[in-house]
């Protein structure tokens, strides 16, 4: 009975909030794909319009952080993101943005233009003013002057320790990660500038329509060396040559990225996936580490 009452309360809160925010009655809800930290719904309104709702456990506080990141991108960049209409810890309401499927070469080129412009937004130090999220996991963002220190302590070792403590990363792999972290200066120069990144660029987090990117969703923002964003975009074959050809016309990609640093930076998302899912991702971490240590 308690679960039923909770669902009824959530449904009532959703309907009341939609009415207050949109001035329209909630007519129907339909599930949408995605939702690592929340249930994602399309909300059909009485006037024929639509919204997107995310519904999650209020105790996690994740939706408030997601809204804060989306608003930061909307206020500080030209990256297209959904407009946040309402946010509390259990409910996020946004504009519904129609999409027509996957990325073609034109959409990849547009994504390159948008991300190159985003990466041109800089800050005095790496990190962020507050901690953010990558999926359901916390991303600590203490302001740090040296990128190698930040990447080592707040990304590799932090996420590696979470995966180890969860029993999903073998102790031998974590020891190899520590050895790599002791010699990052062999692979990463100290001269990179902090750039604003979306932080979770893959096909599921972009909405494309008519050869353009209509919106980026589910951000994991902070100020980083933008190569970490470029690297992740290759991990699941999100972008092809059309993206990098256009990106390189706007911002240079330093020698050694594809040959060395791409795999180094992709250790972080692999560790994230290892913490979340274990299995083959831990094997991928082990193989990547073997290349460097």
Task: Supply the residues annotated as catalytic.
Answer: 200
User: ∠ at Cα 148 (180, 164), nearest 5°?
Assistant: 45
CB 207 within 8 A of CB 92: no
d(CA 285, CA 61): 30
Helix, strand, or coil (residue 169): coil
280-292 vs 267-277: helix crossing angle, rounded to 10: 150
d(CA 34, CA 136): 13
Tally the C-alpha atoms within 13 A of residue 59's C-alpha that lie toward its C-beta. 0
User: Beta strands of the chain (E only): which ranges?
Assistant: 26-31, 39-45, 50-55, 84-88, 91-95, 132-134, 137-139, 195-197, 206-209, 212-216, 222-224
């Amino acid at each position: 009975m308690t679960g039923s009452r909770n669902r009824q309360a959530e449904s009532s809160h959703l309907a009341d909030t939609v009415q207050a925010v949109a001035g329209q009655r909630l007519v129907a809800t339909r599930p949408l794909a995605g939702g690592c930290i929340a249930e994602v719904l399309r909300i059909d309104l009485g006037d024929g319009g639509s919204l997107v709702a995310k519904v999650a456990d209020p105790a996690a506080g994740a939706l408030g952080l997601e809204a804060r990141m989306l608003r930061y991108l909307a206020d500080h960049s030209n990256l297209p993101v959904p407009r946040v209409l309402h946010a509390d810890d259990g409910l996020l309401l946004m504009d519904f943005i129609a999409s027509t499927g996957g990325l073609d070469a034109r959409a990849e080129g547009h994504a390159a233009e948008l991300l190159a412009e985003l990466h041109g937004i800089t800050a005095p130090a790496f990190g962020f003013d507050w901690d953010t999220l990558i999926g359901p996991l916390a991303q600590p963002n203490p302001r740090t002057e040296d990128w190698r220190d930040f990447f080592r302590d707040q990304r590799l070792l932090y996420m590696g320790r979470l995966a180890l403590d969860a029993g999903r990363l073998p102790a031998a792999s974590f020891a190899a990660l520590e050895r790599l972290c002791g010699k990052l200066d062999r692979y990463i120069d100290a001269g990179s500038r902090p750039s604003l990144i979306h932080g979770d660029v893959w096909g599921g987090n972009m909405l494309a329509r008519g050869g353009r990117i209509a919106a980026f969703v589910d951000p994991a923002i902070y100020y980083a060396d933008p190569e970490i964003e470029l690297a992740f975009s290759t991990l699941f074959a999100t972008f092809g040559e059309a993206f990098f050809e256009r990106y390189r016309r706007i911002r240079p990609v330093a020698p050694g990225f594809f040959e060395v640093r791409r795999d180094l930076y992709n250790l972080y998302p692999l560790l994230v996936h290892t913490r979340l899912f274990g299995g083959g991702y831990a094997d991928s971490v082990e193989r990547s580490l073997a290349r460097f240590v």
